[in-house]
Amino acid sequence: MNSTRRNFLKKSGSLVAGAVVTPLVSTKLGATIAPSDTVRIALIGCNGMGHYDLKDHLKIPGVDCVAMCDVDENILNERAADITKLTGKAPKLYKDYRKIMDDKSIDAVIVGTPDHWHCLPTVHACEAGKDVYVEKPLANSIAECQVMLGAARRYNRVVQVGQQQRSGQHWHDALAVVKSQQLGKIRKIKTWGFFEYGKTSPRVPDSPVPAGVDFEMWLGPAPSRTFNTGRFHGNWRFSWDYGGGLLTDWGVHLLDIALWAVDGDMPKSILSAGGIYAYKDNAIETADTQTVIYEYDDLLIEWEHAGGLNKGYYGRNYGVAFIGNNGTLVINREGWEIMGEIESGKPKIEALPLQAADKKDHEKHVSNFIACVKSRQHPICDVEIGRNSAMLAHMGNIAYRTGDKLYWDKTQQQFKDNPNANGLMLPSYRNPWEFPVL
Ligand SMILES: NC(=O)c1ccc[n+]([C@@H]2O[C@H](COP(=O)([O-])OP(=O)(O)OC[C@H]3O[C@@H](n4cnc5c(N)ncnc54)[C@H](O)[C@@H]3O)[C@@H](O)[C@H]2O)c1
């Protein structure tokens, strides 16, 4: 460790570098697995991130993949062949995740489906006594996030949300500095994402459902719609029925870091503006350009995105900046640095050059999940943390969609005097799927 970095960490009063990241809370969750036992996992949703999640789980000794499920047979067969080659064991294959719930030998599931399909498998897995690694954002609506938290608590399950930054050492190092007040009073936390892929693909005509795809099951609880590749694998992020655009896709990761600094506190008001300004002809419903302002008593959290671009602030296309009276700390997955303010020609704080990340966030996150499955501790990104950051992201989209300045009632967990906005907290589930009741 270089001496400047050591200085910062020492001053922060927390020797976090190299330290083991401890769980958020220590209440024990219903014990089922002995530390020496193999953890038998199943993957639901195998294409992109689910496959990546599974492969990192399989790097941990004592983890077996016993089942895989996808509504697209082509993806399922291709990914299963890959896993069989990797492990030498063929998992059981399913097209309907409910069959996995019936299999008592499965200890845990990974949910790697699109956002509109996170809630039901997670709640059903909790009911079936299985632990869950669910991808971010926790769900595609605030009400689903709440019921998932409720299910995890009611059935005493370990639920880790795929916000892997929570396991990354450099995020812990930087947050310790932020919390130490060396930066002075933090008055603004700026978060942003300028991503090329945020413009999605050009609009294309509807087409027949590809062979091997159970499209009804892909839609699941979402409204009935024709098949269009612009809303299918990967591209669903930019249609409201399945995702919330860059704000819930990347925003949720970065807003989570802002919430970490304020201990999960929710804002008193939310304001957003934006639109489809650059890519009017593309397959996109969510805003390609959007700003959200979250107001606290003496702090602003900001989110800003511009899909299709790749230049952002402080020379980074995405990141978080903690802006304090003495200096600004900027961080993303590459590393973090501090830029000091100058007053009367003198630096108010020592600048800190880039502290490179070890890029092990995801592996550590997955290991933390498996360790918690065995120890029955809450994981580092417990479902409550995932609920909070998904909620913050959805609040921004609800402010954008209503065009109103929204006021959050922390006690009632709803917007004050705004039925329209409160209506957007709830998903409408299509028959035969029902919103879970606990
Ligand atoms: N943590 C991260 O850094 C990170 C990165 C990328 C994506 N993600 C998240 O991972 C999730 C998946 O994203 P992706 O890009 O891999 O999407 P994708 O569209 O590429 O893959 C989703 C897969 O789920 C399958 N699926 C859909 N409904 C299903 C159902 N009912 N049962 C079983 N399978 C079903 C699809 O057929 C598809 O194969 C999203 O929630 C996304 O936000 C997280």
Q: Which of 44, 47, 52, 433 for a ligand 1 pocket mutation test, highest count of atoms within 8 Å of Cβ?
A: 47
pLDDT over 70 for what percent of the chain? Answer: 92
The total number of structural domains that make up the chain: 2
For the chain, the distance separating the N- and C-terminal CA atoms, rounded to the nearest angstrom, is 49
Residue 276 placed within a domain: yes
List the structure tokens of 215: 């499209």
Q: Are 61 and 26 contained in the same domain?
A: yes
Q: Rounded mean pLDDT of the chain?
A: 93
User: Residue 31: pLDDT above 80?
Assistant: no
Interhelix angle 251-261/169-179, nearest 10 degrees: 40
Between 98 and 17, residue with greater pLDDT:
98
Mean pLDDT within 238-253: 98
- Ligand 1: atom nearest CA of 236 is 19
User: Residue 15: pLDDT above 90?
Assistant: no
Q: Report which protein residue has its CA nearest ligand 1's atom 9.
A: 135
Domain boundary, last residue among 381, 411, 431: 381
Q: How far apart are CA 174 and CA 352, in angstroms?
A: 11
Strands 352-356, 335-340: pairing is: antiparallel
Distance 116 CA to ligand 1 centre (A): 10
Distance 28 CA to ligand 1 centre (A): 30
pLDDT tens, position by position, 338-376? 999 999 999 999 999 999 999 999 999 999 999 999 999
Residue 4 placed within a domain: no
Q: Are 58 and 197 contained in the same domain?
A: no
Mean pLDDT within 325-336: 98
Residue 435 placed within a domain: no
Q: Are 246 and 295 contained in the same domain?
A: yes
Residue 304 placed within a domain: yes
Q: Are 247 and 343 contained in the same domain?
A: yes
pLDDT tens, position by position, 74-83? 999 999 999 9
Q: Are 154 and 113 contained in the same domain?
A: yes
Q: Are 156 and 181 contained in the same domain?
A: no
Residue 262 placed within a domain: yes
Q: Report which protein residue has its CA nearest ligand 1's atom 21.
A: 47
For residue 93, the enclosing domain spans: 22-163+366-381
Distance 10 CA to ligand 1 centre (A): 41
* Residue 36 pLDDT class (50, 70, 90 cuts): low
* Residues whose beta carbon lies within 6 Å of some atom of ligand 1: 44-50, 69-72, 75, 97, 112-115, 117, 135-136, 162, 164, 217-218, 220, 233-234, 249
Distance 118 CA to ligand 1 centre (A): 9
- Ligand 1: atom nearest CA of 48 is 16
Given this model, what pLDDT does residue 32 score?
60
Q: Are 121 and 260 contained in the same domain?
A: no
Distance 297 CA to ligand 1 centre (A): 37
Residue 1 placed within a domain: no
* CATH assignment of the domain containing 275: 3.30.360.10
Burial class of residue 300, CB neighbours in 10 A (0-12, 13-18, 19+): middle
Residue 319 placed within a domain: yes
* CATH assignment of the domain containing 81: 3.40.50.720
* Residue 198 pLDDT class (50, 70, 90 cuts): confident
User: Residue 6: pLDDT above 70?
Assistant: no
Distance 336 CA to ligand 1 centre (A): 29
User: Residue 293: pLDDT above 50?
Assistant: yes
Q: Are 96 and 201 contained in the same domain?
A: no
pLDDT tens, position by position, 383-411? 999 999 999 999 999 999 999 999 999 99
- Ligand 1: atom nearest CA of 235 is 19
Distance 150 CA to ligand 1 centre (A): 23
Q: Report which protein residue has its CA nearest ligand 1's atom 22.
A: 113
Q: Are 321 and 372 contained in the same domain?
A: no
Three-state DSSP state, 28: coil
Q: How far apart are CA 308 and CA 312, in angstroms?
A: 12
Q: Are 158 and 235 contained in the same domain?
A: no
Q: CA nearest 141: which of 434, 438, 431, 423?
A: 423
Given this model, what pLDDT does residue 29 score?
76
pLDDT tens, position by position, 47-82? 999 999 999 999 999 999 999 999 999 999 999 999
- The DSSP string of 283-340 is S--S-SEEEEEEE-SS-EEEEEEETT----BTTBSEEEEEEESSEEEEEETTEEEEEE
Q: Report which protein residue has its CA nearest ligand 1's atom 7.
A: 49
Q: Report which protein residue has its CA nearest ligand 1's atom 1.
A: 162
Mean pLDDT within 120-128: 98
Residue 112 placed within a domain: yes
Residue 180 φ then ψ, to 5°: -75, -10
User: Residue 382: pLDDT above 90?
Assistant: yes
Q: How far apart are CA 313 and CA 369, in angstroms?
A: 33
Q: Report which protein residue has its CA nearest ligand 1's atom 16.
A: 48
Q: Are 371 and 231 contained in the same domain?
A: no
User: Residue 12: pLDDT above 50?
Assistant: no
Q: Are 39 and 129 contained in the same domain?
A: yes
Q: Residue 64's beta-bridge partner residues?
A: 40
Distance 341 CA to ligand 1 centre (A): 43
User: Residue 110: pLDDT above 50?
Assistant: yes
User: Residue 4: pLDDT above 80?
Assistant: no
Distance 49 CA to ligand 1 centre (A): 6
Distance 92 CA to ligand 1 centre (A): 19
